[in-house]
Amino acid sequence: MTGSTDTSAQAPEIGPPLWLLAELTYRCPLQCPYCSNPLDYAQNEQELSTEQWVSVLRQGREMGAAQLGFSGGEPLVRQDLPDLIAEARQLGYYSNLITSGLGLNEHKVRAFRDAGLDHIQVSFQASDPELNNAVAGSRKAFEQKLAMARAVKEAGYPMVLNFVIHRHNIHQMTDIIDLCERLGADYVELATCQYYGWAFKNREGLMPSKAQLVKAEAEVNQRRQQLADAGSAMKLIFVTPDYYEERPKACMNGWGSLFLTVAPDGTALPCHSARLLPIEFPNVREQSLQSIWYDSPGFNHYRGDSWMPEPCRSCDEKGKDFGGCRCQAYLLTGNADNADPVCSKSPSHDRILAARRAADHATAGLEDLSYRNPANSRLFFRS
């Protein structure tokens, strides 16, 4: 890390974590080639017990966390999920379940509602069964997702749908929005793939071309206006991939600023991708959340701006983007201290430009991607 005696460097003011993400498990029935779980997810240690998760939730709430996400993997594989939802309600969290819908049924939806769950987000892989099921690695995934989206709506929840967008489904924007409208969706997140975990491994086969992206965004904007003109309340959120920006995002609103993730094995992280970094992060089995958040070297590693090398150190925008994403800097340059290469001021920005050029000429098909469950992919892509 670059040392400094620069008096302009700002010491961080550390507030409490407001958003707690409980990654209950890395287990999942799906095979998605853009999964954000670690590539070696199967090698992780034993998952936290129900009692240990309850302790995490209580500690987080005592510190001031108000928003709670249950994610994975697929959180539905945890048999104690209803108990954790009930605990979250008792503690006063606003809780959100992020699910593929596989393993969900009408009874569970009602049970989760009765236990106090506030919000359910269901993910899709495409607007048609063939593509959706091929990416998911399940022949029944699409119909299950449709049924569960309807069940969520019927239970009185807002219908929140998520589609990860990549070069193999980006041509479906109009069809995806039509599907969401038929289902009565309230919020639709069209999240263009961000390249971490399996998505980084498959970047060349997933990244859309500039032309595809421009066309897709125009289609979303057109449909957004049509929905507004028709008086529809459905909200469309289109997330542009970092690789097509000239300035980096303020990743997680700043390192160790608002978000605290606890991985299935108890590792505490400033974001769900951070365990790929060459940094030792603490574990809730060994330290309190209070100590982890305020005192651990892992969480203090990139707080403030004293760690920043040039060009970030002298940049008048460093208070907006905090140097960008540390995981992206590490994946693309091999040094997490470096400026996020997405930034046009970064000495490594040419790596982003090269990725854009490669996307303009990519020819890889779905069968060429690496899936997190290769046995499932063989059902759809036989050699």
Return the DSSP state at 141. H
Say whether pLDDT at 192 is over 80: yes
Q: Is the peptide bond before 311 cis (omega within 30 degrees of 0)?
A: yes
What would the two tokens of residue 13 be? 């003011």
Does 271 show up as a binding residue in the annotation? no
Per-residue pLDDT for 284 more than 70? yes
User: Is residue 4 within 8 Å of residue 309, measured between CB atoms?
Assistant: no
pLDDT in tens, 27-66: 999 999 999 998 888 777 699 999 999 999 999 999 999 9
Report the pLDDT averaged over residues 78-103.
Answer: 97
Q: Which residue has the tokens 């309600």?
A: 89
| Measured distance CA(134)–CA(86) in Å, rounded | 35
Tokens at 95, concatenated: 């809780």
What pLDDT sits at residue 42? 75
d(CA 104, CA 151) in angstroms, rounded, equals: 9
Which of 133 and 4 is assigned the larger pLDDT? 133
Q: pLDDT per residue over 316-349, tens digit each?
A: 999 999 999 999 999 999 999 999 999 999 999 9
DSSP E strands: which ranges in the chain? 19-23, 67-71, 94-99, 119-124, 160-165, 187-192, 235-239, 259-262, 268-269
Confidence of residue 380 (pLDDT cuts 50, 70, 90): low
- Residue 44's pLDDT is 72
Q: Which pLDDT does position 381 carry in this prediction?
A: 60
Distance between CA atoms of 134 and 132, rounded to whole angstroms? 6
Q: Which of 236, 32, 200 is nearest to 124 (CA)?
A: 32
The SS3 assignment for 97 reads strand
CA gap 67, 17 in Å, rounded: 9
Least confident range of 166-170, 238-242, 285-289 = 238-242
Q: What is the pLDDT of residue 4?
A: 36
Instruction: Check residue 377 and give its pLDDT.
Output: 62
Label residue 382 by pLDDT band (50, 70, 90).
low
pLDDT per residue as tens digits for the range 9-30: 455 689 999 999 999 999 999 9
- Nearest residue to 196 (alpha-carbon basis) of 266, 253, 274, 258: 274
Domain spans of the chain? 15-289+303-382
- Residues 15-289+303-382, CATH architecture: Alpha-Beta Barrel (3.20)
Mean pLDDT of the chain: 93
Residue 2 has pLDDT above 50, yes or no: no
Lowest mean pLDDT among 143-147, 248-252, 305-309, 358-362: 248-252
Q: What is the pLDDT of residues 171-190, one digit of tens each?
A: 999 999 999 999 999 999 99
Provide the Cα torsion 56, 109, 74, 242; round to 10°. Answer: -90
> Residue 7 pLDDT > 50, yes or no?
no
| Residue 99 burial by Cβ neighbours in a 10 Å radius (0-12, 13-18, 19+) | buried
Q: What is the DSSP string of 253-311?
A: GSTTTSEEEE-TTSBEESSTTGGGSSS---BTTTS-HHHHHHH-HHHHTTSSSTT--TT
What percent of the chain lies above the pLDDT cut of 90? 89
- Model confidence, pTM: 0.92
Which pLDDT band holds residue 197 (cuts at 50, 70, 90)?
A: very high
